[in-house]
């Protein structure tokens, strides 16, 4: 069987299994065994065992459960509720203030959890009822929560970045630095959109009544010291220790996990049931990620052995318009895949194929990797499998329809596309910090 036919059949069976609803990890592993055994016989088991032990010995991946544990404890500590109350008071006097506050809280919570579902559900349960009560436009309120929630996979420390690094063989510390400014760029674009829209259409985001925003300077300082400073210190200490070479990613994650427990204790939220729930959630998500990683590792082993990587590289390199035409095709491919496959599946299936192509075209590896991760945020907002929309619909009040959420996310998808274009036109937004702070 020629490599071209092998590639076509492998992807056909793979996508058929995923679309039929079978777990991604088992589809990847099953397809790998089917084609591996069919072409190499029982020798395929030796390759699988080698790849399995390679994953088990990957020190960087130890950061995944530690950051997840940190995120769960930051959530259980009541940090999000305190942040929302603080932002409610500080920004509520402005048109669109609650929407802008939602984006700000999402950005801070994204740096604390690194998981979209946890961020969006927690913030949505608090922010959506309040915005609807204050007569905010339904679509604007829903769009702000959905878009803000997707920041969890980009703003470091992010689980996506930790997983992406070993796959593409790029320093996770460099990816953290590279993703920081694009994450803040998206936050700025989201806030500007809400502010401009509510300035032009005051009825979409009215300011809070005067009686609800009466606070003294002393009260504001107390809010800042008790609600904003503690989580910010934890986040910046974890990231700073990585950025300045004080600790590796895994060690910094361990420090963050302990610090999040201390924060929960200071808020009176540390008890056995919280620890138990945090361990269960961390174990569940980590097991899911590692199962997909194992299946994808087997799939890529067979795919490369059958010459599939050479077929894909040759196909992309023959596209018109040179390297920018290839980049446009890759970005479009990621958007299309994101409409049907979750980001984790895309990360393990597509990234190993496109990373060598980017290297052959001469793209900076950190720049290209961050560009891919910004693109993957779109997958949470584009139907039919728009996970961010489903998360919000599951917790939304009865008056919020699915069409309200769809209408709300579309402008934010446009802003994500705009961010990608800005990152292509001005690559220094990504590359400046990694090139100057890490050798």
DSSP code string of 63-108: HHHHHHHHHHHHHHTTHHHHHHHHHHHHHTTSTTHHHHHHHHHHHH
pLDDT at position 211: 62
Question: What is the C-alpha separation between 372 and 347, in angstroms, rounded?
Answer: 9
Q: Which residue has the higher pLDDT, 200 or 385?
A: 200
Chain centroid offset of residue 277 CA: 22
Q: Mean pLDDT for the chain?
A: 82
Span between the terminal Cα atoms of the chain, in Å: 45
pLDDT in tens, 132-150: 888 889 999 999 988 988 8
CA distance 176 to 185: 15
Left, alpha or beta for 408 (phi > 0: left; psi -120 to 50: alpha)? alpha
Residue 228 DSSP code:
I
Q: What is the pLDDT of residue 388?
A: 81
Instruction: Specify which of 106-120, 368-382, 410-424 reaches the highest per-range mean pLDDT.
Output: 410-424
Q: Give the pLDDT of residue 183.
A: 92
Span 421-437, mean pLDDT? 90
Q: Which two tokens stand for residue 59?
A: 């020190």
The reported pLDDT for the residue numbered 438 is 63
| For residues 224-253, average pLDDT | 76
Give the pLDDT mean for 267-272.
82
More confident residue, 320 or 429: 429
* Cβ(172)–Cβ(160) below 8 Å: no
What pLDDT was estimated at residue 210?
67
Residue 119 has pLDDT above 80, yes or no: no
In this predicted structure, what is the pLDDT of residue 187?
Answer: 94
Residue 435's alpha-carbon distances to 175, 331, 420, 427, in angstroms, are 11, 24, 20, 12
Does residue 2 surpass a pLDDT of 80? no
177 or 312, higher pLDDT: 177
Per-residue pLDDT at 421 exceeds 90: yes
pTM (2 d.p.)? 0.81
Tokens of 110: 């994204």
- CA 35 to chain centroid, in Å, comes to 32
Region 323-351: mean pLDDT is: 84
Contact between residue 30 and residue 301 where contact means Cβ atoms under 8 Å apart = no
Window from 163-177, 241-255, 263-277, 328-342 with minimum mean pLDDT:
241-255
- Dump pLDDT digits (tens) for 14-71: 878 877 878 878 888 888 888 888 777 777 777 778 777 777 777 777 777 887 788 7
Q: Highest-confidence range of 85-94, 235-244, 342-351, by mean pLDDT?
A: 342-351
The CA distance from 373 to 181, in Å, is 13
CB contact set of 120 (below 8 Å; sequence gap of 6+): 106, 145, 146, 148, 149, 150, 152, 388, 391, 392
For residues 99 and 194, is the Cβ–Cβ distance under 8 A? yes
pLDDT for residue 5: 83
Average pLDDT over residues 381-390: 77
């Amino acid at each position: 069987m020629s490599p071209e036919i092998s590639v076509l059949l492998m992807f056909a069976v793979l996508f058929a299994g995923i679309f039929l609803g079978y777990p991604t990890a088992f589809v990847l592993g099953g397809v790998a065994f089917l084609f591996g055994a069919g072409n190499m016989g029982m020798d395929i088991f030796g390759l699988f065992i080698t790849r399995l032990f390679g994953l088990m010995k990957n020190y960087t991946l130890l950061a995944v459960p530690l950051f997840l544990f940190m995120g769960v404890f930051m959530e259980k500590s009541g940090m999000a509720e305190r942040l929302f109350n603080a932002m409610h008071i500080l920004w509520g006097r402005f048109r669109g203030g609650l929407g802008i506050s939602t984006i700000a809280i999402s950005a801070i919570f994204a740096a604390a959890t690194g998981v979209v579902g946890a961020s969006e559900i927690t913030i949505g349960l608090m922010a959506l009822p309040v915005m609807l009560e204050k007569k905010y436009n339904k679509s604007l309120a829903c769009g702000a929560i959905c878009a803000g929630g997707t920041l969890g996979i980009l703003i470091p420390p992010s689980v996506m970045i930790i997983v992406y690094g070993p796959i593409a063989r790029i320093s996770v510390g460099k990816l953290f630095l590279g993703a920081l400014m694009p994450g803040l760029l998206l936050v700025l674009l989201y806030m500007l959109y809400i502010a401009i829209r509510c300035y032009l259409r005051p009825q979409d985001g009215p300011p809070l009544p005067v009686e609800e925003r009466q606070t003294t300077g002393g009260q504001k300082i107390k809010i800042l010291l008790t609600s904003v400073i503690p989580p910010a210190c934890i986040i910046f200490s974890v990231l700073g220790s990585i950025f300045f070479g004080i600790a590796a990613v895994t060690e910094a994650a361990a420090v963050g996990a302990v610090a999040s427990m201390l924060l929960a204790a200071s808020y009176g939220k540390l008890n056995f049931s919280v620890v138990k729930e945090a361990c269960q959630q961390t174990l569940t998500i980590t097991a899911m990620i590692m199962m997909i990683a194992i299946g994808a590792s087997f799939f890529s082993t067979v795919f490369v052995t059958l010459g599939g990587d050479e077929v894909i590289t040759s196909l992309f390199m023959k596209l018109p318009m040179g390297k920018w035409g290839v980049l446009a095709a890759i970005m479009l491919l990621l958007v299309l895949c994101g409409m049907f496959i979750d980001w984790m599946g895309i990360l393990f299936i597509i990234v190993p194929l496109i990373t060598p192509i980017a290297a052959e075209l001469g793209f900076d590896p950190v720049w290209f990797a961050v560009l891919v991760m910004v693109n993957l945020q779109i997958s949470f907002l584009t139907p039919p499998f728009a996970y961010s929309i489903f998360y919000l619909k599951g917790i939304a009040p009865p008056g919020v329809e699915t069409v309200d959420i769809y209408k709300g996310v579309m402008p934010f998808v446009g802003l994500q596309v705009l961010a990608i274009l800005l990152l292509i036109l001005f690559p220094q937004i990504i590359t400046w910090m990694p090139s100057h702070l890490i050798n």
